Each structure stands twice: as C-alpha cells, then as structure tokens.
Amino acid sequence: MKAKDELQKALARLYKRQNFGIKMGLDIEQALLEKLGNPEQAFAAIHVAGTNGKGSVCAILDSILRAAGLKVGLYTSPHLVRFNERITVNGIEVTDAELWTLFEKVEPIVAEVAQIAGREPTFFECTTAMAFEHFRQKGIQMAVLETGLGGRLDATNVVTPVLSVITPISLEHTKYLGPDIESIAGEKCGIIKPGRPVVAAGMVEEALGVIRNVARERGCALVEAAGAVNVRLISADLKGQKVHVESGNASYGALNLPLLGTHQLGNLATAVAAIEALNDAAGLGIAEAPVKKGVAATKWPGRFQVLQEDPPMILDGAHNPGGAVALTDTLKQVFKNKPVALVFGMCDDKDIGNYLKPFGRVVKRMWAVPLKTERSLPVERVSAAGKAMGWPVVESTVREAMTESLVWAKQNGGVVCMAGSLFLVGEVLELEVRKS
C-alpha cells in the first residue's frame, strides 16, 4: 500500500467533494457504476430509508444475517471517527490498504464522469461507488444499505433490492424532501421497487398512508411491523434490554438487545419483520436461533452509548426533534428522576427550539459546545437556546464540558448526557480513545 500520507491525501480530496453540496439525482451514480462494470448487480440488497432509527435497524439486520451464516456488507453514514466505519464486510471495516485500492480504481473514473457529465460527482456519490465496488471485490451475498438523504433521488437508489424497509418518518431536510410529512414520505418511498416487498415501521398515519398507497400502486407486498411483530420489554439496565419477541410466524422467546431505549423496541420489531419478509421473498429460512444470536451481538456506537456508569455518562447522536423525544424517554426510563447535565452542540440547519423542548424538566444544567464542522451552530446561539429553556448554561469546549459535567453529576447524584449531533459523538469518541 502507498504511504499513509498518500491515503490521507486521497481522503482529503474526497472530503473536498462535500463542497459540491447535495445533488439529488441518479444519473451520476449510474454513470460511475457503469464504468466500474455495475458492481451493484453482484449482490442482493436490503435498502433502508427513514428519518429516525434506520441506522439501528441496519445494524440489527447486519448482525442477524451474519449470525445466519451469510457474508454481509453494511453501508451506513455518516461515520463517527474514521471514514472506514461506513463500509464493513462481516463486521470488519474496510482496511486502509483496501481503501487505497478503491481510490486507485475509482478516482480516474470519477474524473471521466465529471468531464462527460459537466459536473463533479459529490462526496456521497463517490463513496457509494466505492462501497459497492468493495462489496463486489469481497464477494458478499447480501448488502444492507442505508440511504443518505431521502430515497427516490438518493445515490444508493440505483439498486433493485430484494426488500425495502422504511423506518419512522418525521419532518427533516424540507429544502430537499418537501414541506410536510406526506411529501417526505413520498421521497422515502422512492426505494420501493415494483413487485418487491416492503416493511414499514410503526409511524405517524400521514406517512403510513403514503407508504400503503405506493406499495399498492407498485404491486408490492407490504408488512407493517407494528402489527406483525410484538416486542415486549421484560427488564432494562445499563447493559441493555431483555425483551420478549413473537410474531404470527414464530416465537423467539426472550432476547437480549444491547441497544437501550423504548424506541429500540420498535426498531427491533422492524428488523425482525424484515427478516421474516426476506425469508418469504428469498427463501433464506433464517430461524429463531440466528435471530436471537444476531440481536444479542448488535453493536451500534453513539446511540445511548454508556461511556461510564458512576456517575453515568451517556452519548447519543439524536439530532432532530423525533430523536430528542426518544432520547428523553430513555433517560426517564433508565434513570427515573435523576437530574441531567446536558452537553450539547448542534448543526446550524437543525431545529434547535423544538429539539430542546422534550428535555424541559429533565435537564438541570447545560454545557453549550461548538462542533468540529463549518456547519456548527455558534456556541452563543446554543447557549441562548438553553437559557430560553430556563437552564443555567456554561459555554465551553467539548473536553472541558465532559470534565465539568461529570463533577456536577457526582455532586448532584445526576447523569451526563451528550447529544445534539453525530459530529459531537465523533469528537467525544475520539477523546475517549486518546484517554485509553
């Protein structure tokens, strides 16, 4: 492999493509893949779209499919610390050497396509092409693909999946996806392909209605997870949740789910419904045992991740109002009436007012922090939003906020919760690695 600094230069060139912004459409992605020999046709795929929970559903599906003996590729975004996290095969991140090989193959093609198309491929378009090529090179059998933005015009939507999955939908990216739930649901439904089954998570009726109509129009069997799979909480602690799962097809009994939060019960129901729909569509015959084993082995960092237990320190990537509701519900469930210190930073395109509302009486003190991104909301605006909630606010760096909030939590019998952005999650995880 080339020297490490050569790889870093290639990654820097790729990151610069973020300056081209978001370009909705499939033409460029199709052109890239055609020049690569259409690697997306070399494997079967499960395609997952939604507003909240799609990453967790992808992680559970990936783990179950691997437990069933399949060779599985997982493509998710964004990464938290290292770019390599986005592309895994059987749980193993793409190595630096493999990444360099992909750059050598894909970069010349990117230049060709840019010249022909008259515009530069974006960061996500290039990354998607690299992921699909890696999956082909590794000979995977099944890919679990998370959409980047929306669905219909997302770069991942060049596949014809064996199964589509749509997780809960709420208002997001209205500039690109439309002004209301129905419009956004319509964009997410772009991943539903004629004659291919679709699984829908439990969600608001406005979104479900759109999914039902699209599935009917395209001749797709629709499974509504909330009615198809029952997940009941038995117990929960900082290690995870013990749940009982059953469906009309199987009784899975008691399962250990490492992901905390009542919202994860819905994500688990969606994943189990997807496995059963996959069994029907592809005849895989995945039984109860690999489902139980796969669920128990699920790893998905930065989602109510417990960094330490005394005093408790929680790290969560929730960055929209729906995610904030799920996060605060989980804090109440796990920690009852313990006071919360919120270490909080947010991107400037997010709805900070509605995000903070669910934290209302839960939070007793806030540390406002900047994010390591040009999109970071200025710390003074973060601070002002916290003060508008009636909380004492400290403006600080992430490192200082972690130290100070832990002292406060110890003194007050409280909990530290760090949330608001996956950029914040990434910075915290990087600091934790350096500490160890």
Domain CATH number, residue 58: 3.40.1190.10
- Is residue 315 domain-shared with residue 270, that is, in the same domain? no
Q: How many other C-beta atoms lie within 10 A of the C-beta of residue 48?
A: 31
- Is residue 229 domain-shared with residue 343, that is, in the same domain? no
Q: End-to-end CA distance of the chain, in Å?
A: 28
What is the residue type of 52?
N
For residue 139, give Cα distances in angstroms to 71, 73, 90, 135, 144: 8, 9, 11, 6, 14
Share of the chain above pLDDT 90, in %: 89
pLDDT value of residue 195:
97
* 379 falls within a domain: yes
For residue 253, give Cα distances in angstroms to 104, 239, 291, 391: 49, 19, 11, 44
* 231 falls within a domain: yes
- Is residue 252 domain-shared with residue 200, that is, in the same domain? yes
Q: How far apart are CA 384 and CA 200, in angstroms?
A: 38
Give, as one character, the DSSP assignment of residue 377. P
Residues 6+ apart with CB under 8 A from 342: 359, 363, 365, 366, 367, 386, 391, 417, 418, 419
Last residue of a domain, one of 276, 296, 316: 296
For residue 33, give Cα distances in angstroms to 113, 378, 387: 10, 39, 50
* 259 falls within a domain: yes
- Is residue 356 domain-shared with residue 209, that is, in the same domain? no
Q: How far apart are CA 291 and CA 229, in angstroms?
A: 13
H-only helix segments in 192-235 = 205-217, 225-228
- Is residue 239 domain-shared with residue 359, that is, in the same domain? no
Pair type for strands 251-257 and 240-247: antiparallel
Q: How far apart are CA 376 and CA 48, in angstroms?
A: 28
- Is residue 106 domain-shared with residue 153, that is, in the same domain? yes
Average pLDDT, consecutive stretches of 10 residues, N- to C-terminus, the chain (436 residues)? 81 91 88 98 98 95 98 96 97 97 97 94 97 98 95 96 95 74 95 98 96 98 98 95 96 96 95 97 94 98 95 94 92 94 94 95 97 94 97 97 98 98 96 76
Model pTM? 0.93
The residue segments making up the domain with residue 285 are: 4-296
Pair type for strands 72-75 and 87-89: antiparallel
Q: How far apart are CA 208 and CA 91, in angstroms?
A: 32
- Is residue 284 domain-shared with residue 348, that is, in the same domain? no
- Is residue 398 domain-shared with residue 317, that is, in the same domain? yes
- Is residue 285 domain-shared with residue 331, that is, in the same domain? no
- Is residue 181 domain-shared with residue 46, that is, in the same domain? yes
pLDDT value of residue 1:
47
Q: Which two tokens stand for residue 51?
A: 């507003």
- Is residue 18 domain-shared with residue 141, that is, in the same domain? yes
Last residue of a domain, one of 269, 296, 323: 296
Residues 6+ apart with CB under 8 A from 104: none
* 436 falls within a domain: no
Domain CATH number, residue 427: 3.90.190.20
Last residue of a domain, one of 266, 296, 326: 296
What is the number of structural domains in the chain?
Answer: 2
- Is residue 292 domain-shared with residue 313, that is, in the same domain? no
What backbone phi and psi angles, to 5 degrees, belong to 144?
A: -110, 115
Longest alpha-carbon distance in the chain: 63
